Amino acid sequence: MKLDELRATLNEHINRQPRGFKAQLAHELDVTPTYINQVLSGRLPLQLDHLAMILERLELELVVAPKGTNERLRAVFSDPFVQPKVERNDT
């Protein structure tokens, strides 16, 4: 996973949280919500200690694995937060 993919994933999960989550997260990190937006948009660097706190609050973990592992894992696991697409046959 590249850094921009990590930021996109974090954004996706943060946007699923209840209203006020980002403000509470900013408070816990002792930063502003604007700072959170700038970090997640790539305008500011993502500090490791902030990443750790964000992942903890989202109940996610970062796994380091050899390159190419993501493709093999995607074949086995799916994102538990993504609703499966249901194909309908209306014939």
Instruction: List the chain domain ranges.
Output: 3-76
Q: Is the pLDDT of residue 48 over 80?
A: yes
Q: pTM (2 decimals)?
A: 0.70
Asked if 46 and 7 count as a contact pair (C-beta separation under 8 A), the reply is yes
Q: Give yes or no for residue 65 having a pLDDT over 80.
A: no
Higher per-residue pLDDT: 70 or 5: 5
Task: Note the pLDDT of residue 69.
Answer: 75
**CATH number attached to the domain at 3-76:** 1.10.260
d(C-alpha 51, C-alpha 85), whole Å: 30
Q: Quick one: which of 46, 48, 40, 43 has its CA closest to 15?
A: 40
Counted residue by residue, the chain has a size of: 91
Distance CA 44, CA 46 (A): 7
